[in-house]
Amino acid sequence: MSTLDSILRETRSFDPAEDFRRKATVSGPDAYYALCEQADDHYLSFWGDLARELISWKKPFSRVLDDSNAPFFKWFDDGVLNISYNCLDRHLAVNANKIALIFEADGGGITRVTYSELHRRVCQFANGLKSLGVGKGDRVVIYMPMVIEAIVAMQACTRIGAIHSVVFGGFSAAAVHDRIQDAGAKVVITANEGLRGGKIVPLKAMVDEALAIPGSETVTATVVYQRTNSGASDWHDGRDIWWHKLIDGQPESCEPEWMQADDPLFILYTSGSTGRPKGIQHSSAGYLLGALNSFRWVFDYKPSDVFWCTADVGWITGHSYVCYGPLGMGATQVIFEGVPTYPDAGRFWRMIEQHKVTTFYTAPTAIRTLIKLGADLPKQYDLSSLRLLGTVGEPINPEAWMWYYEMVGGERCPIVDTWWQTETGSAMIAPLPGAIATKPGSCTLPLPGIMADIVDESGAPVEPGKGGFLVIKKPFPSLVRTIWNDPERFKSTYFPEEFNGQYYLAGDSANRDESGYFWIMGRIDDVLNVSGHRLGTMEIESALVANPLVAEAAVVGKPHEIKGEAVVAFVVLKGPRPTGEEARRMTAELKNWVAHEIGKLAQPDDIRFGDNLPKTRSGKIMRRLLRSIARGEEIAQDVSTLENPQILSQLQERAS
């Protein structure tokens, strides 16, 4: 039975435990439906009230939504605020000594940082950035390991109104370069080295390589945090400066730069259906509101919680549920550097026990990996502090869901399966855990105020059980504002003409069951989801054809037990088709090449070589056919329109 069949036939349903429901912020289905009704009836005041309740404004806004230039919506736009003020300063009156961050380094070592200490560090670093000439509207690329300083750097940018663009530490120098160039970054913040599962990640060397490529001349300074004892190779005097030297002697307070609500807060690059990643531009107030409100509702936040989201700040999850949501609400949270499997597969469970984590949020791929490495391991730890579990990034298979529910949550913790995207900024479809019964594999129902629906090509809602396009029918505060440098692409990608430019098109297909629950089926575009990481097939194809030996390449996904999806590449070389030992050598070379061009996360699992790719007579690559071949399925499609059917058997051959 395919995953799709099995989730559609899923009939188990779990009501919130009585004790959980009673204490929940949104308690029982009636409370949820009342909020939905409020949003339906008074959409603007619903959001306006939340924005007044959850955000501290320097100057209040007078208008909730400006839709005069749709789809370039503005929210709360004459309001004035500062995001780091909302995440730090406003907590100091009563919570100065509350722990903000409990950091556990790769290989151990725990550091606790209070709100007042974090405030001090952010102010000092913000002053340091100012001394480098960074100010309002300047772009700063952050390419850091998952350490406290990564969060300090992000918060410091927001304090002075600079726009950060965090690049995940697993991306290559070439990828860093592309993002620096597109954003026109003035400063890059990095570390001499990162650590991941005991292995060194040469971050500074990658930045050097990125900056050596023409097109990055906008960068005037590189700030280097000393993470490991080794120094930094290739020091560029006049450009490179150590973090500790930059903050040395800087004042411990820094007046926030007061920003308009819709001023950009950050850009985060994500993959789409072309070769070039998109710079998703988020706003200040609207984005923050989404992060705060969803954090409070979906994670049923209580001030006594110890929250742990395992995401790296290189992804949107790490922005909204590490840097902005929890800090904005004044929460105590755990952050960790490294990987879930190092020093061993008990790391998560040990950390939950040790730090008395109450709310744990991770990705299905991590859950599947940990099941494989030790399905019984959680039993060895005291996980009784947990009261709520969450997942994000890809559909979770019911088996993994049930294991998470029973083994980790002891059948007492609701699981919030949260559907959202880099573009939506915050969780969109997810159970409010004290209100909504959960079903393994379903992200359940939209948050109040999120007008999600499933429609056909004409924009008409589809019946339950019929798949369609997932759309959001009204703009909402945390929605992406534009694609940096490319407003046209923003419009055509997300507000296509098919739906009269009215609906936000998410790019996923979905299904609804009889109770209205959403089941996400997968992407409708050429985007893959590998271990919860979003990758464009075109992006990997462009990387492959940039290799001088490659003539043509096509990339597809195939289901993978742990990663969700794996990358399969079909390659035509300029020279003769390699076989045997030569094919194995070329496979290794091309895998390294992709790691170098994009990052290890985009490496194909499998590469097949052919004299050509299967094409129709008009020259179009038959991707459906490639998908069947990648999965090792019998070819059921009609191949009579194929120009060159003989190459199919070549492509079915694996090199190793």
The DSSP output letter for 380 is: G
Interface with ligand WT7, residue 401, by CB under 6 A: no
Scan residues 497-516 and list those touching ligand WT7 (CB under 6 A). 506-508
Applying CB under 6 A, does 395 fall inside the site for ligand WT7? yes
Residues that contact ligand WT7, how many (by CB under 6 A): 21
Question: Do 614 and 644 form a contact (C-beta atoms < 8 A)?
Answer: yes
CA atoms within 13 A on the CB side of 375: 8
Residue 152 assigned to a binding site: no
Q: What is the Cβ-side half-sphere exposure of residue 368, based on CA atoms within 13 angstroms?
A: 17
Q: Is 550 a known ligand-binding residue?
A: yes
Site string for ligand WT7, 153-192 (x = CB under 6 A): ----------------------------------------
545 is in an annotated binding site: yes
* Distance of alpha carbon 219 from alpha carbon 374, whole angstroms: 46
Residue 365 in the binding site for ligand WT7 (CB under 6 A): no
Task: Tell whether residue 257 is a contact of ligand WT7 (CB under 6 A).
Answer: no
For ligand WT7, give the closer residue by CB, 149 or 394: 394
Please report whether residue 422 would count as binding ligand WT7 according to CB under 6 A. Answer: yes
Question: Does residue 539 interact with ligand WT7 by CB under 6 A?
Answer: no
Residue 9 annotated as part of some ligand binding site:
no
What is the C-alpha separation between 181 and 177, in angstroms, rounded?
A: 6
520 binds ligand WT7 (CB under 6 A): yes
d(CA 221, CA 187): 5
Of 114, 124, 369, 421, the one binding ligand WT7 by CB under 6 A: 421
Q: Is 531 annotated as a binding residue?
A: yes
Q: Could you give the residue ranges of the DSSP H alpha helices within 9-133?
A: 18-23, 28-41, 43-54, 83-87, 92-95, 115-131
Give whichever of 100 and 527 is closer to ligand WT7, judged by the CB atom: 527
Looking at beta carbons only, is 82 or 362 nearer to ligand WT7?
362
Query: Which C-beta is closer to ligand WT7: that of 358 or that of 397?
Result: 397
Angstrom distance (rounded) from CA 99 to CA 110: 13
214 is in an annotated binding site: no
Furthest C-alpha separation in the chain: 74
**196 labeled part of a ligand binding site:** yes
What distance in Å separates the CA atoms of residue 171 and residue 295, rounded to the nearest whole number? 28
Looking at beta carbons only, is 187 or 598 nearer to ligand WT7? 598
Quick one: 260 or 418, whose CB is closer to ligand WT7?
418
Residue 127 found at the interface with ligand WT7 (CB under 6 A): no
The answer to whether 346 and 317 are in contact (CB under 8 A) is no
Q: Interface with ligand WT7 includes 443 (CB under 6 A)?
A: yes
Closer residue to ligand WT7 in complex, CB, 216/270: 270
Query: Which residue, 21, 5, 7, is CA-closest to 444?
Result: 7
Does 422 show up as a binding residue in the annotation?
A: yes
The yes or no reply on residue 431 touching ligand WT7 (CB under 6 A) is: no
Q: Does 536 bind ligand WT7 (CB under 6 A)?
A: no
517 binds ligand WT7 (CB under 6 A): no
Stretch that binds ligand WT7, among 46-54, 74-82, 192-200, 418-426 (CB under 6 A): 418-426
Place of tokens 């059980």: 465
**DSSP secondary structure of 427-496:** --B---TTTS-B-TT--BSBPTT--EEEE-TTSPBPPTT--EEEEE-S--TTS--EETT-HHHHHHHHS-
Task: Render the burial of 454-485: b for 16+ CB within 10 Å, e for the rest.
Answer: bbeeebeebeeeebbbbbbebbbbbbbbbbbe
Asked if 419 touches ligand WT7 (CB under 6 A), the answer is yes
Query: Does 529 interact with ligand WT7 (rule: CB under 6 A)?
Result: yes
**128 CA to centre of own chain:** 29
Q: Is there binding between residue 392 and ligand WT7 (CB under 6 A)?
A: yes
| Of 90, 130, 491, 523, the one binding ligand WT7 by CB under 6 A | 523
Sort residue 107 into left (φ over 0), alpha (ψ -120 to 50) or beta.
Answer: left
Of 145-153, 397-405, 415-423, 495-503: span binding ligand WT7 (CB under 6 A): 415-423
Confirm or reject binding of residue 362 to ligand WT7 (CB under 6 A): no
Q: Which stretch binds ligand WT7 (CB under 6 A): 123-131, 214-222, 333-341, 417-425?
A: 417-425
**Least Å distance between CB 55 and ligand WT7?**
22
Site string for ligand WT7, 301-320 (x = CB under 6 A): ---------------xx---
276 annotated to a ligand binding site: no
Query: Which residues lie across from 512 on neighbouring strands?
Result: 518
Spatial distance between the Cα atoms of 4 and 2, rounded to a whole number of angstroms = 5
**Contact with ligand WT7 (CB under 6 A) among 149, 305, 417, 539:** 417
Give 86 or 422: the residue with its C-beta nearer to ligand WT7: 422
Q: Is 444 annotated as a binding residue?
A: no
Q: How far apart are CA 613 and CA 541, in angstroms?
A: 13
Contact flag: residue 254 with ligand WT7 (CB under 6 A):
no
Regarding 393 and contact with ligand WT7 (CB under 6 A), the answer is yes
Is position 583 an interface residue for ligand WT7 (rule: CB under 6 A)?
Answer: no
Is residue 113 within the footprint of ligand WT7 (CB under 6 A)?
Answer: no
Tell me which amino acid residue 230 is. S
d(CA 6, CA 589): 38
> Quick one: which of 420, 494, 593, 609 contacts ligand WT7 (CB under 6 A)?
420
DSSP run (H or E) holding 651: helix 647-652
Instruction: Pick between residue 265 and residue 571 the one whose CB is nearest to ligand WT7.
Output: 265
Nearest-CB residue for ligand WT7 = 422
DSSP string, 613-639: --BBTT--B-HHHHHHHHHT----S--
The smaller minimum CB distance to ligand WT7, of residues 295 and 420, is found at 420
Question: Does the annotation list 395 as a binding residue?
Answer: yes
Q: Is the dihedral of CA 439, 441, 443, 445 positive or negative?
A: negative
CA 307 to chain centre: 18
The set of residues, in sequence order, having a beta carbon less than 8 Å from that of 140 and lying 6+ positions away, is 129, 134, 153, 157, 162, 163, 164, 165, 185, 186, 187, 188, 189
421 in a labelled binding site: yes
Q: Which is nearer to ligand WT7, 294 or 317 (CB)?
A: 317
Does residue 418 belong to the site contacting ligand WT7 (CB under 6 A)?
yes
Which DSSP state fits 65? E
- Annotated ligand binding at 508? The verdict is yes
Three-class secondary structure assignment of 181-204: HHHCCCEEEEECCEEECCEEECHH
C-alpha to C-alpha distance for 312 and 335, rounded to whole angstroms? 9
The verdict on 361 binding ligand WT7 (CB under 6 A) reads no
Contact 583, 384 (CB under 8 A): no
Neighbours of 250 (CB within 10 A): 17
Binding residues for ATP: 393-395, 417-422, 508, 523, 534
Contact residues: ligand WT7, CB under 6 A: 270, 316-317, 392-395, 417-422, 443, 506-508, 520, 523, 529, 534
Binding-site positions for Mg(2+): 545, 550
Annotated binding site: 196-199, 317, 393-395, 417-422, 508, 523, 531, 534, 545, 550
